[in-house]
Amino acid sequence: MIPNVMIDIETLGTGHLPVILSIGAAKFDPHGDSINDSFYVAVDPVSCEHFGLKVTASTAMWWMDPERDIARTNMLQESRVDLATALDGFMQWYGPDSLPTWGNGATFDNVIMRSVLEKVLYECPWKFWDDRCYRTLKSMAPSIKIERHGMYHNALDDAVSQALHLQAIYKHLSL
């Protein structure tokens, strides 16, 4: 079994180089029903500016919505590390081999992680042919609803919820 990786990031923008607030990831077997390993780090947003990452006003306002009070409060209480340290930890956790790597949207998590890794002078650990789009897969089985594990907008909780949902979709579609 080649493990797959589900990445979820929380950001202050939607472009390809936004300020990153946190990185969550889960390793899993898409044909299984559990998570094999996980990674989480909260990032100091000020350190992102050093590398030219940007805040998008509309995303900052999205985070200010009262609907996200709990997620925002929890995020603000976390211990944070600088962006380079966060990415180094992610690279060590990910490992040296390219793995099928999923993100929620063909143009979001994976694209941003690849762009930010390259901006901070790391080679992306997965090859382009291992990019996977969870959003596309979940649209193929809309009757299979996601079961939330943890808190919305916590990058690790979202990555775990998405990976477990993907496993349920695989079973449903007999993949």
Q: Write out the chain's pLDDT in tens, 175 residues.
A: 789 999 999 999 998 899 999 999 999 999 999 999 999 999 999 999 999 999 999 999 999 999 999 999 999 999 999 999 999 999 999 999 999 999 999 999 999 999 999 999 999 999 999 999 999 999 999 999 999 999 999 999 999 999 999 999 999 999 9
Question: What residues form DSSP beta bridges with 81?
Answer: 43
CA dihedral 26, 82, 111, 55 (to 10 degrees): 130
Pick the closest to residue 20 from 95, 85, 96 (CA basis).
Answer: 85
pTM of the model: 0.96
Q: Show the beta-strand stretches assigned E in 12-45.
A: 20-28, 35-42
Q: Name every residue whose Cβ is closer than 8 Å to that of residue 16 and which is 6 or more positions away in sequence.
A: 111, 112, 115
- Contact partners, residue 98, CB within 8 Å, separation at least 6: 125, 126, 127, 130
Q: Report the pLDDT value the prediction gives residue 1, as an integer from 0 to 100.
A: 79
Q: Give the pLDDT score at 59.
A: 96
CA distances from 6 to 34, 64, 111 (A): 13, 26, 13
Domain count, the chain: 1
Residue 150 structural domain: 4-173
Report the CATH number that the domain containing residue 157 is assigned in CATH.
3.30.420.10
What is the distance between the terminal CA atoms of the chain, rounded to a whole angstrom?
14
Beta bridge partners of 87: none
